[in-house]
Structure 1
Amino acid sequence: MVLVGERAMGHGSGFAPHTHPVHQMAWAASGAVSVTTPDGAWVLPATRALWIPAGVPHSVDVTTSAVFRSVYLDRNPHRWVRPTVVAVTPLLDELAVYLMDTALPAAPRRRAEAVLLDLLRPVTAAALSVPMPRDGRALAVARAILDDPADGRDLDAWGRAVGASGRTLARAFAGETGLSFGRWRTNARLRAALVLLAANTSVAVVSRRVGYSTPSAFIAAFRSALGVPPGSYFGSS
């Protein structure tokens, strides 16, 4: 059985960590949403969905207005046991809309469900984890960077702002987030970039807003972290 639902969600809304007894495929039919699981966080535009196996805790954050779409399935044809990103092709998207019709007769529903399952294809999409440190001074730095990803201060400068040495902040980020400060800031910048790109903001504008001196530097960082350039990430296949 496949059930499909969607909900319009505003900026700053979301769902706290929860689980489902069935498998879920989640994405933004418009805009973009961020889905976080114990394996990491993914920003999902209209062309990529996250397969969330039954029982896996996950939360949803909306950083720009979006239509959040979910497909709930009692079957796992690929036997995926970890969150997996799949391509949302135009046909898969249309089938999801078709299956939202609760009055659809059983026979055409079964045929549509079978085609939808056949269309599930994994795609490359690294998780962008941006865990928050617990240390109050490091947390203040993290929040400031999330508010302004373009802020390029180094750890010594941040230390002077929050009353700690750069070395202390480096230890806090590494020990409490599992990421070096540099990697944490890159992930924060790229996650912000994905939200902007999903809103059709140009690469040149995005690169400047998230702290890269040139579009080519931004594209290189994007490709290094996510495996593909920005245009391919938001492609339909």
Structure 2
Amino acid sequence: MPEPHVHREHTVFWARRGVHAEVEVEGVRHALVPERGLFVPGGTAHAASRAATTPLAATFVHPWAWQEAPAEVTPVLVNEALRALLTHLHDRGMPKGQRIRAQRVCLEMISVEPAPNLALAIPRDPRIAPVARAILSDPADDRSLEDWAYLTSVSGRTLVRAFRAETGMTFTEWRTAARMSAAIRLLGEGVPVGGVARRVGYATTSAFSAAFHRMFGRPPHQFLPAADAVA
């Protein structure tokens, strides 16, 4: 991720081409998948890929144009019709007045109905940051908290407290969330469910599918690109 930066405008982040993208806001990494976007209020520091090849897109909204905007970072639903309108705003120049009117249409279509929680807190505490980086690099890493205590020369009890303080989760809960975040990305890239299960540390596809469904309320195949999804 690049260094965080700030915009005066509100920003709606969303994934073009219906694939996975990520935005980091205030130390929390948000995975954006088909039909899931993220609203970031103006003045909120965030980091997002600026590479030409990224599927991530951003639509900027003047604060005075959206009086009902959420007051905090909020997942939003971005359906196919809205994505087409946002693409139009993103890719084509237009007079300011026309752009404002088009933005208002988009804002009326944005829904903040409950969506799966795809947010992952990234630890900064130097006692656990190396552990987190290792798991993010290899989600299948199955070393226990006791193994990490030995490798980092930090007591297991200290690691437990640090994970809870930094992320609001236990080590096991955080590792599961990191695995599911990686799974979302891999599914968005079209990796078959069985392959994703192995790459994020599950011995069987059924165990992975059950854990995924518990977290997101939907089976993993529903996050595959449309051409690859199976019933």
Query: What TM-score range do you get, normalising by the shorter chain?
Result: 0.7 to 0.9
Residue matched to 2:229: none
- C-alpha displacement at 1:213, in angstroms? 1.9
Which segments of 5 or more consecutive residues in structure 1 lack a partner in the other structure?
1-13
In structure 1, distance between residues paired with 2:160 and 2:13:
35
- C-alpha displacement at 1:25, in angstroms? 0.4
Match of 2:4 among 17, 20, 27: 17
Residue matched to 1:117: 107
Match of 1:71 among 41, 46, 59: 59
Q: Which structure 2 residues correspond to residues 56-205 of structure 1 after superposition, within 5 A?
A: 56-61=44-49, 65-74=53-62, 75-76=65-66, 78-99=68-89, 100-103=91-94, 109=99, 112-123=102-113, 124-136=115-127, 138-205=128-195
C-alpha distance after superposition, 1:29-62 (max 9, x if no partner): 1443221224833101343211112222222258
SS in 2 for 1:143: helix
Residue matched to 2:206: 216
Superposition TM-score, scaled by structure 2 size: 0.80
Identity of aligned residues (%): 34
C-alpha distance after superposition, 1:51-110 (max 9, x if no partner): 1122222222589x5232111112225431122222222221221232232146955x56
Q: Residue 3 of structure 2 aligns to which amino acid in structure 1?
A: A
Change (3 A) 1:233 1:46: closer
Change (3 A) 1:102 1:208: same
Residue matched to 1:230: 220
In structure 1, distance between residues paired with 2:6 and 2:57:
16
State the superposition RMSD in angstroms: 2.9
Greater RCO, 1 or 2 (C-alpha within 8 Å, sep 6+): 1
- C-alpha displacement at 1:216, in angstroms? 2.5
Aligned residues: 220
Which segments of 5 or more consecutive residues in structure 2 lack a partner in the other structure?
227-231
Superposition TM-score, scaled by structure 1 size: 0.78
In structure 1, distance between residues paired with 2:96 and 2:60:
18
Q: Which structure 2 residues correspond to residues 22-37 of structure 1 after superposition, within 5 A?
A: 22-30=9-17, 31-37=19-25
Aligned: 1:53 with 2:41: yes
In structure 2, distance between residues paired with 1:20 and 1:133:
24
